Amino acid sequence: MKLKKKIKIGIDSPSAAGAGTISKMLAKNYNLLYCDTGKIYRYMAKQIIEKKPLDKIKFLKKISKKINLKKLNNKNLLTDDVAYIASQIAKDLRVRKLVVKFQKDLAYRPPKKFNGSILDGRDINSKIVKDADFKFYVTASVTERAKRRFKELKKLGKKVTYSKILKNLKRRDLEDRSRRYSKLKKTKDSTLINTTNLSIKGSFLKVKKIIDKKLNI
Ligand code: C5P
């Protein structure tokens, strides 16, 4: 499918609300470049865990220049330990600044073959792609999100318990919502999509309907 004009979609959400799955489906449907921006922070976190640098900022400055989408596509980034460190470093404005350009380049300058871009994260609609053509805030109850994350990690063969996942999600929600910079929040101009009682397909179709209507297709 070729769209009449290039589009940018921004999706913000707390962890495990289904935003990633919906974004991937939208990217496929409209032929958009997709980036799960949480993976950028997870990638940096994983590197810190492995290399244990003394000067974290100096180290991150160096590796941030070499980040690309291929490096972010790694199942090892999915663990809760990595997520926790990711949320810790993501609080630091100096760290966030290192990866703004990478995200903006993807959003505003996707390769020609795409009809545009879709980014999901915490601060996409408030900071990274403020002028996105379509803005959504995807959420679900924390217990539903914990259930989904539990299933996902089990499937990957990870040793996890539901209660620990729930606890970690609550902690990360609180930290992401109350930090000083680029807090997780719904911007006024984004559409709320609550996926608690929706299937993956149902969530996707709900968002697609809104986009199709505005695109006149
Ligand atoms: O979405 P995911 O759980 O993979 O994100 C990991 C962490 O990275 C989040 O808890 C959040 O602190 C941080 N993050 C962020 N800004 C984004 C995406 C993720 O601060 N745009």
The encoded tokens of residue 145 equal 């999100």
Q: Is the CB of 120 under 6 A from ligand 1?
A: no
pLDDT single digits (tens) 146-202: 999 999 889 988 889 999 999 999 999 999 999 999 999 999 999 999 999 999 999
- Average pLDDT across the chain, whole number: 96
Mean pLDDT for 5-31 is 97
Query: For residue 129, is pLDDT > 90?
Result: yes
Of all residues in the chain, the percent with pLDDT exceeding 90 is 92
Query: For residue 69, is pLDDT > 90?
Result: yes
User: Ligand 1 pocket check: which of 13, 41, 145 to mutate, most ligand atoms within 8 Å of Cβ?
Assistant: 41
Q: What spacing in Å lies between the alpha carbon of 115 and ligand 1's midpoint?
A: 26
User: Ligand 1 pocket check: which of 176, 180, 183 to mutate, most ligand atoms within 8 Å of Cβ?
Assistant: 176
Residue whose CA is at the smallest distance from ligand 1 atom 13: 87
Report the pLDDT value the prediction gives residue 1, as an integer from 0 to 100.
79
Minimum mean pLDDT range among 25-39, 58-72, 133-147, 155-169: 155-169
Report the pLDDT value the prediction gives residue 80, as an integer from 0 to 100.
86
Domain 7-212 fold is Rossmann fold (3.40.50)
Q: Is the CB of 176 under 6 A from ligand 1?
A: yes
SS3 string, the chain, reads: CCCCCCEEEEEECCCCCCHHHHHHHHHHHHCCEEEECHHHHHHHHHHHHHHCCCCHHHHHHHHHCCCCHHHHCCHHHHCHHHHHHHHHHCCCHHHHHHCHHHHHHHHHCCCCCCCEEEEEECCHHHHHCCCCCEEEEEECCHHHHHHHHHHHHHHCCCCCCHHHHHHHHHHHHHHHHHCCCCCCCCCCCCEEEECCCCCHHHHHHHHHHHHHHHHCC
Query: For residue 19, is pLDDT > 90?
Result: yes
Q: What spacing in Å lies between the alpha carbon of 125 and ligand 1's midpoint?
A: 14
Query: pTM for the full model?
Result: 0.95
Enumerate the domain spans of the chain. Answer: 7-212
Residue whose CA is at the smallest distance from ligand 1 atom 19: 38
Atom of ligand 1 nearest to the CA of 39: 4
In Å, how far are 43, 50, 75, 97 from 70, measured between CA atoms? 11, 19, 12, 21
Query: For residue 211, is pLDDT > 90?
Result: yes
The answer to whether the beta carbons of residues 119 and 27 sit under 8 Å apart is no
Report the pLDDT value the prediction gives residue 114, as an integer from 0 to 100.
98
Q: Is the CB of 150 under 6 A from ligand 1?
A: no
pLDDT single digits (tens) 91-125: 999 999 999 999 999 999 999 999 999 999 999 99
Report the pLDDT value the prediction gives residue 14, as an integer from 0 to 100.
97
The answer to whether the beta carbons of residues 172 and 88 sit under 8 Å apart is no
Query: For residue 2, is pLDDT > 90?
Result: no
Q: What spacing in Å lies between the alpha carbon of 120 and ligand 1's midpoint?
A: 9
Atom of ligand 1 nearest to the CA of 15: 3
Q: What spacing in Å lies between the alpha carbon of 86 and ligand 1's midpoint?
A: 7
Report the pLDDT value the prediction gives residue 156, as an integer from 0 to 100.
87
Q: What spacing in Å lies between the alpha carbon of 217 and ligand 1's midpoint?
A: 33
Report the pLDDT value the prediction gives residue 207, as an integer from 0 to 100.
98
